[in-house]
Amino acid sequence: MQLALSTWPEVEDYLRGSDGMIVPIGSVEQHGPNGLIGTDHLDAEFVARGVGDAIGAAVAPTLAYGMSQHHLAFKGSATLRPSTLMLVVRDVVESFALHGFRKFFFINGHGGNVATVTAAFDELYAARSLRAADAPVQCRMTFWSAGERCRKLGEQLYPGANGAHATAAEVSLAQYYQQEHIKHAQMTPKVAAPSSPFFEAADYRRRFPDGRIGSDPSLSTPEHGKLLYEAAVQDMIEAYQAFLAY
């Protein structure tokens, strides 16, 4: 059930049977020479909608922008400050909680969101604990690719080459979702890029001049994306249902 394509009476009816909601969240940032700038939010959205369609779960509109300051040296990237993203997450959860949603399952596509969104959850809990009259909420965030099926499949498809950013798996999933927008680019060299720690945007660009970290997304295909999608949806169905039952 996509909230964006539903009416308020439909949401009211849904809440009679469930107080759970899936929230896809990602980022707007470069993904190497052939990855779409929207890869992180597109992947999270695609998997979240797959879960919602399969089990009738409510899926909120995608939170497309994330905490991506370290990508700003690449054209087309955009970021929210950590403080801004925390406020966005807070306001979205508080708004839906007002109507009776209590369990918020964030399907994430971007590593840079983790610290900020986790802190936003803590702020929500603290505020509600200090206002004892408010009904409690529960929030959890997980990567679309974190389940056992998806992790094993990524290892099988891209041994030693999936990497940490502009991964072959995330680019493949976006290619399957947006097949009319598949991009091709020459990797230099056509091997997995190096990995190392980094700091702000200029340092990132200096260390990883084509945007990749430890990955070879030239291996990506929409056929791989279909396999990853099917695995991720099953993983996230199980994770969401376990969260509801917790």
- 84 pLDDT higher than 90: yes
pLDDT in tens, 124-149: 999 999 987 678 999 999 999 999 99
Left if phi > 0, otherwise alpha if psi is -120 to 50, otherwise beta: which for 211? Answer: left
- Write out the residue range of the structural domain in which residue 235 sits: 3-245
Q: In b/e form, how buried is each residue of 5-14, taking b as 16+ CB within 10 angstroms? A: eeeeeebeeb
- Given pLDDT bands bounded at 50, 70 and 90, which one contains residue 111? very high
Q: Which of 144, 154, 148 is nearest to 219 (CA)?
A: 154
How many whole angstroms from its chain centre is CA 53? 18
Domains held by the chain: number: 1
Distance CA 86, CA 12 (A): 27
Note the pLDDT of residue 119: 98
Q: Give the pLDDT mean for 151-168.
A: 96
CATH number at residue 16: 3.40.50.10310
Distance CA 80, CA 65 (A): 7
- Cβ distance 98 to 53 under 8 Å? no
For residue 213, the cross-strand partners are 165
Q: Give the pLDDT mean for 78-90.
A: 98
